[in-house]
Amino acid sequence: MNSGRHGMGNKLKKGVPFKGTSFSDLLAGLIYVLIAASVLVFILWPSIAIMVKSVYYDGQFTLAEYIKLFTQNKQLLLNSIFVSVFSTVLAVVIGLFIALFVSHSQNRGKRLTFAVLLLTMISPPFVSALSYIMLFGRRGIITYHLLGLTINPYGWHGVVIMQALGHASLAALIILGVLRGIDKSLEQASLDLGADSLRTLLKITIPLAKPGIIAAALIAFIQSLADFGTPAIIGGNFSVLATEAYMNVIGLYNLPRAAAMGTLLMIPALLMFIIYRRTVENSEYFSLRVSTESPLKLSRGVNYSLALVTASFILFQLIQYITILWGAFAKTWGVDFSFSLRHIQAVEASRLAAFGRSLEYALIAALVGTLLGMIIAYMVARKKFPGYRTLDFLVTLPYMIPGPFLGIAYVLAFHNKPLILTGTAFIVVANCIYRQLPISTRAGTAVLTQLNPETEYSARDLGASEITAFKDIILPSLKPAFLLGFVNTFTTTMTTIGAIIFLVVPGSEVATVQMFNAIKTGQIGVSAVLANMIILVTLLINLVFSYFILRSPRYGGREKREETYVPAIDGIK
Amino acid sequence: MKHKLLAMLMILVLVFGLAGCGGSSDADLPAPEEKIAADLAGTTLKVFAAYGGKDEIFQAFEADTGIKVEYLDMSSGEVLARIRAEQGKPLGDIWFGGGVDSFIAAQTDGLLESYVSKEAEFVTDQYKDPDGYWTGISLVTVSFIVNTDRCAELGVDVPQTWQDLLKPEFKGEILMPNPSISGTAYTILSGILQTMGEEEGWAYMDQLNAQIPYYAKRGGEPPQKAALGEAAVGLAPDTGEDLKAEGYPIVSVFPRDGTPWWPSPVAILKGAENLEGAKVFVDWCLSEKGQQILRDNCPRVPAREGIELPECLAEIKDAELQDIDFVAAGNARDGLVEQWQTRYGQ
Average pLDDT, chain B: 85
Ordered structural domains, chain A, with CATH: 35-572 (1.10.3720.10)
Non-local CB neighbours of A406 within 8 Å, separated by 6+ positions = A46, A398, A431, A435, A498, A499
Of B72, B182, B214, the CB nearest to A236: B214
Between the alpha carbon of residue A109 and those of residues A36, A115, A240, the distances in Å are: 43, 10, 38
Distance CA A482, CA A25 (A): 23
pLDDT at A563: 35
Domains B2-138+263-308 and B143-258+318-344 in one fold: yes
Cβ atoms A190, A204 nearer than 8 A: yes
Give contacts of A 217-246 with B, CB under 8 A.
Answer: 232-233, 235-237, 243, 246
pLDDT of residue B279: 96
d(CA B209, CA A518): 30
Task: List CB contacts (< 8 A) between A513 and chain B.
Answer: 72-73
> Once rounded to an integer, what is the mean pLDDT over residues B247-258?
92
- Output DSSP code: residue B298: S
Report the C-alpha gap between A276 and A283 in whole angstroms: 11
Helix, coil or strand: residue B249? coil
pLDDT of residue B21: 38
Q: Please list the alpha-helical segments (H only) found in A142-228.
A: 156-179, 184-192, 197-200, 206-208, 210-226
**Strand, helix or coil for residue A170:** helix
pLDDT at B143: 93
pLDDT at residue A294 in the model: 66
pLDDT for the residue A182: 76
Chain B hits for A332, CB-CB cut-off 8 Å, are 246-248
> For residue B212, what pLDDT band results from cuts at 50, 70 and 90?
very high
B249 touching A (Cβ < 8 Å): yes
Nearest by CB: B242 against A247, A253, A521: A521
Considering only CB atoms, B75 lies closest to which of A138, A250, A336, namely: A250
pLDDT, average across residues B126-151: 94
Residue B42: CA count within 13 A, CB half-sphere:
10
Contact A507 B92 (CB under 8 A): no
Q: Give A123→chain B minimum CA distance, Å.
A: 19
Q: How many CA atoms lie within 13 A of A572 on its CB side?
A: 21
Distance separating alpha carbons of residues A349 and A351, to the nearest angstrom: 5
Q: Could you write out the DSSP letters of every residue in A503-530?
A: T--TT---HHHHHHHHHHTT-HHHHHHH
Are B212 and B167 in contact by the 8 Å Cβ rule? The answer is no
Q: Pairing between strand A60-61 and A330-332? A: unpaired
Plot region of B258 (φ>0 → left; ψ -120 to 50 → alpha; else → beta): left
Backbone phi, psi, residue A432, to 5°: -65, -40
Query: How close A530 comes to chain B (CA, Å)?
Result: 16
Write down the pLDDT at residue A566. 35
Q: How far apart are CA A130 and CA A122, in angstroms?
A: 15
Distance from CA of A244 to the nearest CA of B (A): 9
Q: Compute CA distances A305 → A73, A96, A97, A113, B76, whole Å.
A: 41, 12, 8, 15, 50
- Please answer whether residues B291 and B264 qualify as being in contact, where contact means their C-beta atoms are separated by less than 8 angstroms: no
3-class secondary structure, A493: helix
pLDDT tens-digit profile of B299-329?
899 999 999 988 888 888 778 888 888 888 8
Query: What whole-number distance in Å separates Cα of residue A23 and Cα of residue A209?
Result: 38
The interface pTM score, or ipTM, of the predicted complex is 0.72
* Residues of chain B positioned with their CB less than 8 A from the CB of A247: 178, 180-181, 217
pLDDT at A552: 52
Instruction: Name beta bridge partners: B108.
Output: none
Any chain B CB within 8 A of the CB of A513? yes
Is A215 strand, coil or helix?
Answer: helix
Residues 218-247 (B) with a CB less than 8 A from some CB of A: 218-221, 223-225, 227-231, 240, 242-243, 246-247
Q: Where are the domains of chain B?
A: 2-138+263-308, 143-258+318-344
Q: Touching check for B66 and chain A: CB below 8 Å?
A: no
* Confidence (pLDDT) at B333: 81
The pLDDT of residue B134 is: 96
The string of pLDDT tens digits covering residues B38-96 is: 678 889 999 998 888 888 999 999 999 999 999 888 878 788 888 888 887 898 999 99
Distance from the B21 Cα atom to the nearest Cα atom in chain A, whole angstroms: 35
Q: According to the model, what pLDDT value does residue A3 have?
A: 39
Contact B230 A139 (CB under 8 A): yes
| Residue (of B267, B6, B295) closest to B138 by Cα position | B295
Check the CA dihedral B162-B164-B165-B166 and report its sign.
Answer: positive
b vs e for A222-246, b when ≥16 Cβ sit within 10 Å of the residue's Cβ?
bbbbbbbbbbbbbbbebbbbbbbbb
What pLDDT score does A555 carry? Answer: 39
Q: Compute CA distances A397 → A44, A81, A146, whole Å.
A: 8, 18, 44
d(Cα B340, Cα B176) in Å, to the nearest integer? 13
Q: Which amino acid is at B258?
A: G
**Architecture (CATH level 2) of domain B2-138+263-308:** 3-Layer(aba) Sandwich (3.40)
Q: By the 8 A CB rule, do A46 and A413 touch?
A: yes
Taking the C-alpha atoms of residue A17 and residue A42, their distance in angstroms, rounded to an integer, is 30
C-alpha A475/C-alpha A458 separation (Å) is: 16
| Residues of A with Cβ-Cβ distance to B339 under 8 angstroms | none
Residue B11 has pLDDT above 60, yes or no: no
CA–CA dist A42, A369 (Å, integer): 12
CB contact under 8 A, B102 and A507: no
As its CATH architecture, domain B143-258+318-344 has 3-Layer(aba) Sandwich (3.40)
pLDDT under 50: residue ranges of chain A: 1-18, 288-289, 291, 553-573
